[in-house]
Amino acid sequence: MHVLVHGAWHGAWCWDALVRELSDRGVPAVAVELPLTGFRDDVATVRRAIEEAGDEVVICAHSYGGMVVSTAARGLPRVRHLVFLAAFQAAEGEDMASLLMREPSPLTTALAIGPEGVTVDRSRLHEVFYADSDPSVAEVLAARLRPMPLDDPGVMSGTPAWTVIPSTYVVCTRDNAISPATQRFMAARAGQVVEWDADHSPFLTRPGELADLLTSRC
C-alpha cells in the first residue's frame, strides 16, 4: 500500500493523477487529506492512515508533508520506505522556517499573513509551485488552496522516522518553493537521491515517473 501525504496549502486532490497511475499498475494507494489545523492534528491524521493501510507501506511525502511523515511514521515497522518529494527531511531540532531560509526562494517573498493564517500570493502561484504547468493550472488550483496556521512553529521534535526507515529523496532542480540547494542539503540524509529537472509539483506533470519510482521502492 502507498500512502501519499501532500504539502502545505494543498489537499489530497494533488495526488489524483498519481493515484490513477498506481491503480493502472495494480498498486493500491491512499491520499491523505491533512486537516491543516496544526502539526499535531496533521501527524495524528497521517499516523491513523498508516495504521489502517496494512503491511508493506511505502509513503510519499511532498514539501511540508515530509515534516509530518517524519513524526507520524515513528515506531511503525509496517513502513518499508519513505520518499521525500521536494520535502522537508528535517533533523531533530530543525524547523521549517530556518531550513527554508538557508537559501531564500521565491516562495519566501510570496507569503502573506492574514486573519485566517499564512497564504501565498495568488499572482505568484504559477511561479512558485506550478512553473512546469500552463498558467491556467494555477488559476484553477488557487481556489483549492487553504491557509496554514499562524501559531505552528514546525519544529522536528524527537528522532525522525527516516533515521531508521530507508528513504529516497527526489530533488527538484527548478523548484521555486524549497531551493534545490536546501533540498540537496536535506537529501544527504536519505539512503538514495534522485534529481529531476522539475518544479515544486511533479505530481502534476510527472505522475508516471513518480509512480515508477514509488513502485520500485516496494
Q: Catalytic one among 63, 105, 167, 179?
A: 63
**3-class DSSP assignment, residue 3:** strand
- Of 61, 53, 108, the C-alpha closest to 83 is 61
| Catalytic site includes residue 63 | yes
**3-class DSSP assignment, residue 81:** strand
| Cβ neighbourhood burial of 96 (10 Å; 0-12, 13-18, 19+) | buried
Block residue for cell numbers 508493506: 56
C-alpha to C-alpha distance for 210 and 142, rounded to whole angstroms: 23
C-alpha to C-alpha distance for 192 and 27, rounded to whole angstroms: 22
What residues are annotated to the active site? 63
